[in-house]
A and B are shown apart, each in its own frame.
Chain A
Amino acid sequence: MFFRVMDKARIADLVRGLSTEYEVIGPVAKGERFTFSVIEDPADLRLDFDTTILPPKKFFFPPEERMMRFRVADNEVVDDEAFASPRVLFGLHPCDINALLLMDNVFLGEFEDPYYKAYRDATLLVGVSCSPRETCFCNAWDTDEVHWGFDIFLTDLGDRYFVSVRSVMGAELLDRHVETSPITAEDTAEFQAVVREFKRAFPAKLDTSQLPLLLDAKFDDPVWDELGERCLSCGACSMVCPTCYCFDVRDDLDPDQRSGERKRVWDSCQFSEFSAVAHGQTFRESRASRVKYRYYHKQWGYLSKFERVLCVGCGRCTHACLADISPREVVTALVEGSEAR
């Protein structure tokens, strides 16, 4: 990795330059919130954003995605090409980059997913530092820092960015499109100060002691029933989560019924149909068991395979949940006992 500093005002140059070669995507305002969208005008880029409604996963694993086109008569695949055009995803916070790394384990590990891979290969990532909001708890999972998985990372030093360059592509692009200068000792010192301040700004650190064990030990804890009563089963938490990857597969026929396409669409374990098998048997009938499963899988199921928790503490689900169910609350209830809430 090597480092540069860049004047903040130069960000527009960089975006404009990148736009000549790539589709540039970044955070833009939508009402009082933000979304990752294609940047038409560098002035729309809002690197001071807090968080986006949907995470960047929508660019790698779209909410609805064609997997293949088929012909019915001979049950033949007509086209299953995975195609993605080159693009730069600008302004990912550390949690979002970490989330992509967690998704990679699933989609790029055993049985590589060609669609996800095509998007991943075609996309460069430019990260940007952030400041914690009250719903953030990435520090609980050590996802407040990111050391790889990006091409360029910008840390905000007020009037300039401390630029960490991870990949050859990142270095070349920087070189081609924007003026930067070598870092000085002061830059590094200031960078460290910023990081220190960032760590200090977090709300009280979430206690996650023995969480996977507790999930088993307290499998029948009444807290789940209480959560089940509150949960709306709406699945909003899964949609906005940068690490939720479940999907449903559907075949849609064209109106002439001769051909059609197989699609996948985002799904959620909070829906009763999610675990239903033929004849209507459902393995997680109660709402309580479904709420529990989301945490059980994230904090233990995934961990048992990949040694990481399937959450990056971005707080999106906290914001999206109308019933105010949040990982912070659930983890606290398990670790400290439900009366501690």
Chain B
Amino acid sequence: MAPRVVVIGLASDFGCQVQMTNIEDHLLDVLGLIDLTYWQLASSGHLPAEYDVAIVEGAVTTEAHVEALRRVRETAGAVIAVGACAITGGIPAIASAGELADRYGCVYGEGGAEVACGRIAPMPVTAVIDVDYRVPGCPLDTDEFLRVLSRALQGLSGRIPEEPLCAACKTRENICFHDRGELCLGLVTRTGCGAKCVSLGRACTGCRGIAADANLDAAYALLASRGIPAEEFTRRLSLYNTLEEGCDR
């Protein structure tokens, strides 16, 4: 029997789900392997009571999300967290700083806080439940998604690259931004995107999260020696990694 797969979106831009539909060349192959039982974005129907694999996108921003996730964890044999929102909190986690009520005020004006019922400070899915697989990035990379999905379907372990981006960037023979005195976050960012941004002339903004192998202390020290103050580095890191450990100095 084909594994029953559900796709669940929390607070997000649906970008990772859109990326999942962006595997046009292979979409039909993949659909042939699974029984896609729930995907609100693409199909009518309800979240079934039983399923094997849950793909979860988005950040947790309400009590309802927390509850929903706990149920997902109890039900699903395997949980795949996709995208920066679900894994590090991503862009939505920028709003985790300070008081939520103030943000309501800023967006909705006076009395905005009334709408805030059930709202909590944004956090990643991984802060609420254990996940078996992760597809980082903002947005996710479709090839990587396919590889991880394939591992999940085969029941293989969830592996995620743990080293910084620079090595991959070298294989693309990019000119290092730091050589030109510009800050690039690749030196601490988890690899796996093929140094996409740098290869397109843009410094890495850290969307794949902080690599486990990263040496943040050394990065802060060497940037300071090159005239980039800690606050600047912290601010840049906080774009996708507000809640990640070690980038808050």
Task: Give Cα A229–Cα B29 distance, bound, in whole angstroms.
Answer: 48
The residues of A that contact B165 with a CB separation of less than 8 Å are: 234
Asked if A256 and B215 sit within 8 Å, CB to CB, the answer is no
- Name B163-191 residues within 8 Å CB distance of A: 163-167, 169-171, 173-176, 178-179, 187-188
Question: Does B213 touch A at the CB level, under 8 Å?
Answer: yes
A63 B23 Cβ-Cβ under 8 A: no
A240–B165 alpha-carbon span in the complex (Å)? 14
B contact residues, total (Cβ < 8 Å)? 37
In the complex, whether B214 has a CB less than 8 A from a CB of chain A is: yes
Contact partner, B29, options A239, A240, A255, A268, Cβ 8 Å: A255
Contact mask for chain A residues 47-86; partner B; CB cutoff 8 A; 1 contact, 0 none: 0000011100010000110000000000000000000000
The reply to whether A33 and B175 contact each other, CB–CB distance below 8 Å, is yes
State A266–B175 Cα separation when bound (angstroms). 19
Interface membership of B153, Cβ < 8 A: yes
Q: Is B100 an interface residue (CB 8 A)?
A: no
The reply on B35 being an interface residue by CB < 8 A is no
Q: Find out whether the CB atom of A232 lies under 8 angstroms from the CB atom of B33.
A: no
Pairwise interchain contact B171-A54, C-beta atoms closer than 8 A: yes
Contact of B214 among A58, A229, A233 (CB under 8 A): A233
Chain A residue nearest in CB terms to B211: A233
Instruction: Check if A229 sits within 8 Å of B213, measured CB to CB.
Output: no
Does B162 count as interface, using CB distance less than 8 angstroms? yes
Whose C-beta in chain B lies nearest to the C-beta of A316? B170
Chain A nearest CB from B69 CB (Å) reads 26
Residues of B contacting A270 in the complex (Cβ-Cβ under 8 angstroms): 163
Query: A252 on the interface (CB 8 Å rule)?
Result: yes
* A37 to B, closest residue via Cβ: B173
Q: Does A238 contact B (CB under 8 A)?
A: yes
Report yes or no: A234 in contact with B175, Cβ–Cβ below 8 A.
no
Cβ-neighbour of B33 out of A33, A53, A256 (below 8 A): A256
A232 in contact with B215 given A256-B29, A322-B187, A322-B222 (CB within 8 Å): yes
Which residues of B207-234 have CB atoms within 8 Å of chain A's CB atoms? 212-215, 217-219, 221-222
B94 on the A face (CB < 8 A): no
A234 proximity list for chain B (CB < 8 A): 163-167, 187
B150 interface residue, CB < 8 Å from A? yes
Cα distance A256–B25 in the bound complex, in angstroms: 11
Residues of B within 8 A of A272 (CB): 162-163, 212-213
A229 and B213 CA atoms in complex are apart in Å by 12
Whether B26 is near chain A, meaning CB under 8 Å from some CB there, is yes
A322 near B176: Cβ-Cβ < 8 Å:
yes
B218 and A255 form a contact (CB under 8 A): no
Q: B163, A233: Cβ atoms under 8 Å?
A: yes
Separation in Å of the B8 CB from the closest CB of chain A? Answer: 22
Which residues of chain A are within 8 angstroms of B179 by Cβ–Cβ distance?
32
Would you call B155 an interface residue if the criterion is a C-beta within 8 Å of the partner chain's C-beta atoms? Answer: no
Q: Give A53 to B174 CA distance when docked, in angstroms.
A: 8
- The A129-180 residues at the B interface (CB cut-off 8 A) are none
Q: CA of A320 to CA of B154 in the docked complex: distance in angstroms?
A: 39
Q: State whether A232 touches B30 (Cβ < 8 A).
A: no
Q: A4-42 interface mask toward B, CB cutoff 8 Å, 1 = contact, 0 = none?
A: 000000000000000000000000001111010000000
The minimal Cβ–Cβ distance linking B169 to chain A, given in whole angstroms, is 8
Q: Are B162 and A232 in contact (CB under 8 A)?
A: no
Residue of B nearest to A272 (CB): B213
Indicate if A273 sits at the interface (CB-CB under 8 A): yes
Select A232's contact among B166, B171, B212, beta carbons within 8 Å: B166
Q: Are B163's CB and A239's CB within 8 A?
A: no
Residues of chain B within 8 A of A245, CB atoms compared: none
Task: With both chains docked as a complex, state the minimum distance between the C-beta of B247 and any C-beta of chain A, in angstroms.
Answer: 15
Could you tell me the distance in whole angstroms from the C-beta of B217 to the nearest C-beta in chain A?
7
The reply to whether B213 and A257 contact each other, CB–CB distance below 8 Å, is: no
User: Does B20 make an interface contact (CB < 8 A)?
Assistant: no
B129 at the interface (CB under 8 A from A): no
Q: Is the CB of A31 within 8 A of B218?
A: no
Are B164 and A233 touching (Cβ within 8 A)?
yes
Whether A271 lies near B163 (C-beta < 8 A) is yes
A-B contact pairs, 29 of them (CB 8 A): A30-B173, A53-B174, A54-B170, A54-B171, A229-B215, A229-B217, A232-B164, A232-B188, A232-B214, A232-B215, A232-B219, A233-B164, A233-B215, A234-B164, A234-B165, A234-B167, A235-B167, A236-B167, A236-B170, A238-B167, A255-B29, A255-B30, A256-B29, A270-B163, A272-B162, A273-B162, A320-B170, A320-B176, A322-B178
In order of increasing CB-CB distance, the 6 nearest A-B pairs are A255-B26, A234-B166, A235-B167, A239-B170, A63-B171, A255-B29
